[in-house]
Chains A and B, each alone.
Chain A
Amino acid sequence: MSLPTARFGGRIKQPTWRAALFWLLPAAFLGYFFYQPLLSIFNLLISPEWGFDLSALDWSQVWQPLRFTVFQATLSTLLTLAIGLPGAWLFTHFTFPGKKTLKLLSTLPFILPTVVVAAGFNALLGPRGWVNLGLMALFDLETPPIQFLNTFGAILTAHVFYNTTIIIRVVSNAWSRQNARLQQAAQVLGASPWRTFREVTLPLLRPAILSATLLVFLFNFTSFGVILMLGGPQFATLEVEIYIQAMHLLNLPLAAVLSILQLICTLGITIAHNQLSRKDVLAASSRAQELPVRKPKRGFQTVIVALLVVALFTLLVSPLAALTLRSVVKLDANRGERGEIARGFTLQYYQALWENPRNSLFYVPPIEAARNSLIFALITIAIAVSLGLLVAYAQKQRSPLNHVLDPLTMLPLGASAITLGLGFIIVFNQPPFSTLSFPILLPIAHSLIALPFVVRTLGPALQGIPPSLRNAARVLGARPFRVWWEVDLPLLAPSLLVSMIFALTISLGEFGATSFLTRPQYPTLPVAIYRYISQPGALNYGQALAMSTLLMLVCAAGIFLIERLRLPGKEIF
């Protein structure tokens, strides 16, 4: 006869129906709104209803964007490494003035919407940006001397801005967790400092470097807004090509082929990345000795450190500062404005957000876009956080269902927003939906994109609540809901807030799926910025920058709050 298992200390086996209950809603939601659209893209190619002939496809239209996507992603990644790795060395080994600020700033790119970053570089280096207007004033030029917009360099610069901090954070995190005694052991065994670096430090860092590199490559590979807004029409990556084929040329089959190719690539990279990050947990001894962090010592070291700090500050601060300043300074003429231009500080661009002059592109003032964005974001928070909470609880139930459903929940992380948008317009272009109802689908698409982040935030937080606390509450007389209310909820609160901020900022800044689903009557902020920034006239430009600045401030506040709230030791990546 077997003894009864311990009821209080041991883990009580949960019935599978409980897990199934928790999974019910999220699975239905994902099935209907994520997998159905995804499958519809495949279906498009094989179903006779569309009458698509694969053999008639001009494959050069497929290979060319693929080649360019791989090329730009590789080059961007290499450039990012060239700045990021020295940056990681800097953060791991040295203290320097402004380190805290720089560390805080380094969280920004992760959350900033592409339209904001594009607007930032536009305000810095674009034809109406600080540098060009400055040079024109200085040398009395008629045209902007620096051609930055619509160049390959612009794409690379923005990608480096976005991803340098990923390399720095992931690599310096792994570096500073290295046991300093390993290096010392190598030294005592006769390895010179350079040999120690090559034989001990570098091999131990390799998984972290590779994993960060793959992540950066993935982000560059799926880059959409940057290419569209800074690269211009002559540079088409897979993402941009899918968008153009689907939305401008209405060639859905080609878009579908590109999407499937894109999906295969991103899935491959994501799987490789997950494998690598698992390897990264090289058991650091509990008595590991921390690397000493000190001031730069010798003369040339000081110079290198100073150069790096200045470079990183310039990279991270200059586009954002340019954006903010440019949004409150009038430097050139409004559309149709003649005669002397009143240059100087102005809040005109912000005030104009409430107005709806005749020449506006919209039937509504820009502030309506902000209102729409906010409403969509609030709905996204509601959907993503409730689903995320259900998934987190379902994952905790240790049921065989989880082996299948866990990875299926995380898949939206690998699929690009563009693919999702394409799937949406294929599936939901029929009753009960119609093209007019697409804006209703926006928060749903945003929720799908935010869900993996929410689950990754809530899951570990929930797992981190010791079961003994719940048992204690039960023994002290709390009913099940009361246990949840008194124990789970207060302990989850910070993580709930973090996941809400994630959902908020993702929804506010989302541009890829949005560009498929938006309609002129219901613009969101990124869509409005995209339209305004390419219009002639200082007022349109200024309004675009004003909106970007507002969006940036909201996102910055969000990420700084997340940094303060996140569990110690839990990095975003």
Chain B
Amino acid sequence: MLTVQTIEKAYEGQPLLKKVSFTVQDDETICLLGSSGSGKSTLLRIIAGLEEAEAGQVLWDGIDLTNVPAHEREFGLMFQDYALFPHHNVAENIAFGLRMQGRPRDEIAEKVQAALETIHMTSFARRKVTELSGGEQQRVALARALAPEPRLLMLDEPLGALDRTLREQLSRELRRILRETQVPAIYVTHDQEEAFAIADRLLLLHDGVILQSGQPHEIYHHPKNVWVAKFFGLGNLVDGTVTQHAPLTVNTPFGPVRANCQGQPPAIGAAATLLFRPGQARYPAREGGNPITGKVVDQVFQGERYLVTLTINPALPSFQVLLQEPQTLGRPLTVSFEPEDLLCLENGKESE
């Protein structure tokens, strides 16, 4: 089990990581999600032993690794640019870590062969890595990181450099391989779809702290605050003031809205932000729901449904809903939201 304890790190005088702590259980894949510059790659490099933290420890099964150099940690790291050795072919790249462990020749050959089979690249063994496509390089990098059977695998934006279709395909393959090898893994990405697809548990890194952690669906359904909802693009966010508990009512620029709040609702008179998920708009508007009326200003066909943009009031940001039926541009439209579908979030300053 990996334990990361109150890691601190500054970059050019600015704090980059502020007392980051988390654990990775055996055979768990956790996903470190954050925008670029949030320090996620640096955190990986600290765990790998390639960089030193200014404070805090990295422990493996309770043993402090601070004085263990990178090459003795027995962790695997897959680099963002793959960092394949250009002077070695595919098989030699995969064999590198095994050679460092001083394994016998035939065992190395055997393991390399097995690794090539895992990534479906047996016929590529003698190929130069510089002649491989991006997706092939990515698979070789994965095989190279896995071949020495690391205690922990870290992947730094492993799909970042690939195009969309390839990304989806390789993401599936990665999931399969991680499941089969059962190696505990830390997966770093800025792409939420990728994170949802691969993670047993998500850690959301923002401003040097872990803002929220949990299973993907938990975070999706219960974003901790406005920033998280915005980061995941969950829907329309409308600011208001709490005017009443039971039923919880929030006064918004388009009137009082009844909403739902898991846990402790904000005090009466406190600021709150409501999350309207586009997919939960009802049309035609239902009795007893919270009605929203606006002018249709844009409409995009998205296959299953139409993403319709409404202007409620020129002073407010536009409002988006997903509807089954096409609408007419320029015409007014009324939809409704059920009170239990509306989530009331802590407002404004991300409290930490």
Residues of A contacting B101 in the complex (Cβ-Cβ under 8 angstroms): 190
B70 at the A/B interface (Cβ < 8 Å)?
A: yes
Q: Which residue of A lies closest to B129 (CB)?
A: A283
Give A193 Cβ to nearest chain B Cβ, in Å: 8
B96 at the A/B interface (Cβ < 8 Å)?
A: yes
Q: A185-B77, A188-B75 are in contact. Are A195 and B100 (CB under 8 A)?
A: yes
A187:B96 contact, CB within 8 angstroms: no
Residues of A contacting B73 in the complex (Cβ-Cβ under 8 angstroms): 188
B144 at the A/B interface (Cβ < 8 Å)?
A: yes
Contact with A along B41-80 (1 / 0, CB 8 A): 0000100111000000000000000000111111111011
Q: Which residue of B lies closest to A190 (CB)?
A: B100
Q: A184-B50, A195-B100, A283-B130 are in contact. Are A190 and B83 (CB under 8 A)?
A: no
A147–B49 Cα gap in the complex (Å)? 56
A315 at the A/B interface (Cβ < 8 Å)?
A: no
B71:A185 contact, CB within 8 angstroms: no
B255 at the A/B interface (Cβ < 8 Å)?
A: no
- Tell me which residues from 158 to 179 in chain A have a Cβ below 8 Å from any Cβ of chain B: 179
Give A434 Cβ to nearest chain B Cβ, in Å: 58
A179:B81 contact, CB within 8 angstroms: yes
- Tell me which residues from 184 to 205 in chain A have a Cβ below 8 Å from any Cβ of chain B: 184-193, 195-196, 199-200, 203-204
- Tell me which residues from 79 to 116 in chain B have a Cβ below 8 Å from any Cβ of chain A: 79-83, 85-87, 96-97, 100-101
Q: Which of B80, B100, B130 has the most CB of A within 10 A?
A: B100
B148 at the A/B interface (Cβ < 8 Å)?
A: yes
Q: Which residue of B lies closest to A181 (CB)?
A: B83
Chain B interface residue count, Cβ-Cβ cutoff 8 angstroms? 30
Residues of A contacting B72 in the complex (Cβ-Cβ under 8 angstroms): 190
A181:B81 contact, CB within 8 angstroms: yes
Interface residues on A, range: 20 to 34
A184:B87 contact, CB within 8 angstroms: no
Give A290 Cβ to nearest chain B Cβ, in Å: 13
A287 at the A/B interface (Cβ < 8 Å)?
A: yes
Question: Which residue of A191, A204, A286, A288 contacts B71 across the interface (Cβ within 8 Å)?
Answer: A191
A135 at the A/B interface (Cβ < 8 Å)?
A: no
Q: A184-B79, A288-B81 are in contact. Are A189 and B97 (CB under 8 A)?
A: yes
B71:A287 contact, CB within 8 angstroms: no
Question: Which residue of B70, B80, B87 contacts A188 across the interface (Cβ within 8 Å)?
Answer: B70
B87:A189 contact, CB within 8 angstroms: no
Residues of B contacting A186 in the complex (Cβ-Cβ under 8 angstroms): 71, 85, 96, 100
A190:B148 contact, CB within 8 angstroms: yes
Q: Which residue of B lies closest to A196 (CB)?
A: B71
A287:B80 contact, CB within 8 angstroms: yes
Q: Which residue of B lies closest to A285 (CB)?
A: B81
B100:A191 contact, CB within 8 angstroms: yes
Q: Which residue of A lies closest to B48 (CB)?
A: A188
Q: A187-B50, A188-B50, A288-B81 are in contact. Are A282 and B86 (CB under 8 A)?
A: yes
A191–B97 Cα gap in the complex (Å)? 8
B83:A182 contact, CB within 8 angstroms: yes
Q: A186-B96, A187-B50, A188-B76 are in contact. Are A200 and B85 (CB under 8 A)?
A: yes
Residues of A contacting B85 in the complex (Cβ-Cβ under 8 angstroms): 182, 185-186, 200, 204
A289–B82 Cα gap in the complex (Å)? 12
Contact with B along A53-64 (1 / 0, CB 8 A): 000000000000
B80:A189 contact, CB within 8 angstroms: no
A285–B71 Cα gap in the complex (Å)? 23
Residues of A contacting B130 in the complex (Cβ-Cβ under 8 angstroms): 282-283
Contact with B along A284-308 (1 / 0, CB 8 A): 0111110000000000000000000
Residues of A contacting B77 in the complex (Cβ-Cβ under 8 angstroms): 184-185, 188
A188–B148 Cα gap in the complex (Å)? 11
B83:A189 contact, CB within 8 angstroms: no
Give B43 Cβ to nearest chain A Cβ, in Å: 15
A186–B73 Cα gap in the complex (Å)? 12
Question: Which residue of A191, A193, A204 contacts B86 across the interface (Cβ within 8 Å)?
Answer: A204
A184–B145 Cα gap in the complex (Å)? 12
Residues of B contacting A203 in the complex (Cβ-Cβ under 8 angstroms): 87
A203–B86 Cα gap in the complex (Å)? 10
Residues of A contacting B86 in the complex (Cβ-Cβ under 8 angstroms): 182, 204, 282-283
Give B85 Cβ to nearest chain A Cβ, in Å: 6
Residues of A contacting B70 in the complex (Cβ-Cβ under 8 angstroms): 184, 187-188
A192:B71 contact, CB within 8 angstroms: yes
Residues of A contacting B49 in the complex (Cβ-Cβ under 8 angstroms): 187-188
Residues of B contacting A196 in the complex (Cβ-Cβ under 8 angstroms): 71
Give A472 Cβ to nearest chain B Cβ, in Å: 32
Residues of A contacting B148 in the complex (Cβ-Cβ under 8 angstroms): 189-190
A101–B274 Cα gap in the complex (Å)? 63
B81:A189 contact, CB within 8 angstroms: no
B100:A185 contact, CB within 8 angstroms: no
Give B103 Cβ to nearest chain A Cβ, in Å: 11
Residues of B contacting A188 in the complex (Cβ-Cβ under 8 angstroms): 48-50, 70-71, 73, 75-77, 145
A187:B71 contact, CB within 8 angstroms: yes
Residues of B contacting A187 in the complex (Cβ-Cβ under 8 angstroms): 49-50, 69-71
Residues of B contacting A288 in the complex (Cβ-Cβ under 8 angstroms): 81
A185:B87 contact, CB within 8 angstroms: no
A423–B86 Cα gap in the complex (Å)? 46
A181:B100 contact, CB within 8 angstroms: no
Contact with A along B275-308 (1 / 0, CB 8 A): 0000000000000000000000000000000000
A289–B41 Cα gap in the complex (Å)? 13
Q: Which of A179, A190, A282, A289 has the most CB of B within 10 A?
A: A190
Q: Which residue of B lies closest to A179 (CB)?
A: B83
Q: Which residue of B lies closest to A178 (CB)?
A: B86
Could you name 7 residue pairs across A and B whose Cβ atoms are closer than 8 Å? A184-B83, A186-B85, A187-B71, A188-B49, A189-B76, A190-B72, A199-B96
Known: A182-B83, A184-B70. 10 other contacts (CB 8 A): A185-B83, A186-B100, A187-B49, A188-B71, A188-B76, A189-B76, A190-B72, A190-B100, A282-B130, A285-B81
Across the A-B interface, the 10 shortest Cβ-Cβ residue pairs:
A190-B100, A189-B97, A181-B83, A185-B83, A187-B70, A287-B81, A188-B77, A285-B81, A203-B87, A187-B71
Interface residues of B (CB under 8 A from A): 45, 48-50, 69-77, 79-83, 85-87, 96-97, 100-101, 130, 144-145, 148, 161
